Amino acid sequence: MELLLSEEEIQKRVKDLALEISKDYKGVSPVLIGILRGSFVFLSDLIRHLTILPEIDFMSVSSYNTLTKSSGVVRILKDLERDIGGENVIVVEDIVDTGLTLTYISRLLMARLPRSLKICALLDKRERREVDIQIDYVGFVIPNKFVIGYGLDLAEKYRNLPYVATLEESEIGEPEENTP
Ligand code: 5GP
């Protein structure tokens, strides 16, 4: 495990992002949609630095991933509680990798006719992008390595780390390999 982003670096960048969003949405109450589970740490830090009054909702999706690869097929496990028709929506995601998950989620949300829809992601693994998707607010562009911490997991562990670290292939292991 190797440190990629320290707690201090993350906190500073999250605060800057919140100030940028507050400036762009001055006088507007956007609906922030956290994509569970990875984004909950980022979202909770982000909203505490906002100087506007957002509403918060959550959506939980499962993307039929293997441990480290996305398939782009998304199933809704928990939908929004509220209607977003006519609202200014900001989707808050932990990491954009191939971009398939967010493309799917954006299409799904656009069909509900929000007034506007923007995307905010803490981490952007740009090298791995398979579909062209605009990320309006990006915390950090990171190299093509598997990361954990600050909400991001490996098999549900490490989400509680206050920093982001990279794991080597040997530390990850695919589930197939563990199955007898
Ligand atoms: P995408 O559809 O953009 O390829 O994948 C997005 C999702 O894959 C993220 O929401 C996250 O759940 C997962 N993911 C992608 N890269 C990583 C990574 O480096 N670490 C962790 N923990 N999850 C990742």
More confident call, 37 vs 63:
37
- What are the structure tokens assigned to 96, written together? 């954009």
The answer to whether the CB of 101 is under 6 A from ligand 1 is yes
Residue positions counted in the chain? 180
What DSSP assignment string belongs to 57-103?
EEEEEE----SS---S--EEEE--SS--TT-EEEEEEEEESSSHHHH
| Architecture (CATH level 2) of domain 2-146 | 3-Layer(aba) Sandwich (3.40)
Q: How far is CA 132 from the centre of its chain?
A: 17
Query: Is residue 106 within 6 Å of ligand 1 at its C-beta?
Result: no
In the set 97, 124, 132, 136, the catalytic residue is 97
Taking the C-alpha atoms of residue 161 and residue 146, their distance in angstroms, rounded to an integer, is 15
Closest approach atom of ligand 1 to CA 72: 2
Q: Give the pLDDT confidence of 118-148 residue by residue, as tens digits.
A: 999 999 999 999 999 999 999 999 999 999 9
Q: What is the pLDDT of residue 169?
A: 86
Hey, is 139 helix, strand or coil? strand
Higher-confidence position of 31 and 169: 31
When pLDDT is cut at 50, 70 and 90, the band that residue 173 belongs to is confident
Q: What are 49-108's pLDDT values in tens digits?
A: 999 999 999 999 887 666 556 666 788 999 999 999 999 999 999 999 999 999 999 999
What residue spans define the domains of the chain?
2-146
Atom number, ligand 1, closest to the C-alpha of residue 93: 10
Closest CA to 46 of 80, 9, 21, 82: 21
Note if 97 is an active site residue.
Answer: yes
pLDDT at position 83: 97
Our answer on whether the CB atom of 123 is closer than 6 Å to any ligand 1 atom is no
Q: Is the shortest distance between the CB of 99 and ligand 1 below 6 Å?
A: yes
Nearest CA owner, ligand 1 atom 9: 95
Q: What is the pLDDT of residue 79?
A: 97
